[in-house]
Structure 1
Amino acid sequence: MIELRTPAEIEAMKPAGLFVAEVLRVTSAAAKVGVNLLELDRIAHDLIRKAGAVSSYIDYHPSFGASPFGKVICTSVNDAVLHGLPHDYRLRDGDLLSLDFAAAVDGWVADSAVSFIVGSPRAADPRLIDTTRRALDAAIAVAHPGNRIGDLSAAIAAVAHAEGYSINTDFGGHGVGRTMHGDPHVPNDGRAGRGYPLRPGLVIAIEPWFLETTDKIVTDADGWTLRSADGSRGAHSEHTIAITDGDPIVLTARD
C-alpha cells in the first residue's frame, strides 16, 4: 500500500534523514586503508545507541536474505555492490567501498547510500561512482507532482546508458516511512510517463546502482552480499526524498 505523508509527518521525518546522513559522513571518514569493516559497523552501532535510534537492518530478514542481517550498516567492497554484510576484512588501497545505512528516529525511517574510493582510485572507478551520483541527481530533478515513477526510472537509465552501463532491475528504490521498504518500487530503468503518479506527501528512496561491465549479480555464501557475476566493480548512490508541491526535499542530504 502506498501512503502519502502530511507536511507535519514529513517534518517529523527530517531528524531521521539528518541522522542517517551523519552516520554515513562519520563512517565514510573512518574508512581508511587498514580499517576493518567490522569497525565501521561498530562505529555505526555506537552512533545508533547514542542517538536513541533504531537500526533498520540488524533484525531485517526478507525473503531474499538467508537469515536476519545481524549488522547495522551494509559494507560492499569492489565487485560487491548491494547488501554487503560486514565481515573481518581490512580495507586496502584502491578499494571501492559502498556504504548503505538506514535507521529509525522517533519511529520514522530514512535510507541512504554512498560510494567512494579508499586511498588511490583505479582509472575507471571515479566515472562509475560519478555516474550513479548524476543518475540520482537526474531522478531527483524530475521528482515533481505531475510526473510519474517511470520518469524517475527513465532519468536514471538515460545517465547510465549514456556512459555505456547496463542496468539490473532486480533491486531499486522504494517507499520509505514507518518501515524501511514499502511501495512503490522505483526501478532504475523504465519508460517516462508510466507508473504511479508522483503526489505531494510521497516519500521514496531513489537508489541507482551500476556494475562496470555487466548487469548480472550473484549472492555470496553469506546469503546477503550481492556481487557482479563477472567480478567487475559496482557503485551505489541513494537518498530518501519527499515529494512536495514545489521542489522535492532531500531528507538525507549530506551537504
Structure 2
Amino acid sequence: MTTDQQSATRVAIVTGGSGGIGGAVARTLAARGTAVVVHYSGSAERAQQVVDSILEAGGQAVALPGDVADETAMTALFDAAEERFGGVDVVVNTAGIMLLAPVTETALDAFDRMHRVNVRGTFVVSQLAARRLRPGGALVNFSTSITRLQQPTYAAYAATKGAVEAMTLVLARELRGRDVTVNAVAPGPTATPLFLDGKSPELIERLGAASPLGRLGTPEDIAGAVAFLAGPDGRWINGQVLFANGGIA
C-alpha cells in the first residue's frame, strides 16, 4: 500500500474478530471501505475465514493474534497495524468471555478469568487506543444488556461489563480535545453460535419473543450499531452506552 493510499484509508482493529459478532463487525467495516485487523486469540482458522471473506469482497484485512490482557502483545498488534496500513482510526473491543453460575456457586477462578479478559483486556486495548488513535478516530467497547436485565447466573459476567461501561464513560471525557469518540455497545440476546449452543429450540423461541420486534438479534444488527458509532454519522455520539437489543430493556 502506498503512502497516499494509507492516508486515505481508515483502519480498524477488531479484537475478538474471529467470533460471531466480531467477524460481523470486521466484515461490515470492511464493506464500508475500512482496512481491518482481525484480532484473534484462540482460533486462527476462523479469523482467516473472516479475512478471506473480506478479501474476496474486495476489501483489505489481515489476521493477527494476541492476548488482549497482555500489554506487550497488544502493543505489538498496534505496531503491526500501523506498519501495514499507516495508522489506526477505529478500535472495537468485542473480545470477551462469559462463564455463568449463581453467585453462591461461581468459582473465583472463573470470575478472575472473566475479569482478566473482559476488564483488564478492555482496559489494555482502550489505553493503547487512547494513545494512538488518529484524530477523527473512534473507540467502541462492548458491554451487555444484562447490566439492565439482572438475570440470575449472570452476576459475575455483568459485573465485568459494568466495569467496562465505567471506564468507557470516563475515558470519553479524558480525551477532550483529541477528536476521538469513546462509546460502548450493549447487545441483547444475539444469535451467535456461542449463544445458541446448548439451548433448546423452545428456549431460543422464548428469548426471541422477549423483544418487541419478536426475534433474536443478529451479529449484523450489532455490527450496524458499531459501524454507526465508528463512522461519520456517529461523530456527535460520545461517552454513551448504546443498547442494541431490539427493545428488551
TM, length-normalised to structure 1: 0.28
Q: Which has the higher helix share?
A: 2
TM, length-normalised to structure 2: 0.28
Structure with more contact order per residue of length (Cα contacts < 8 Å, sep ≥ 6): 1
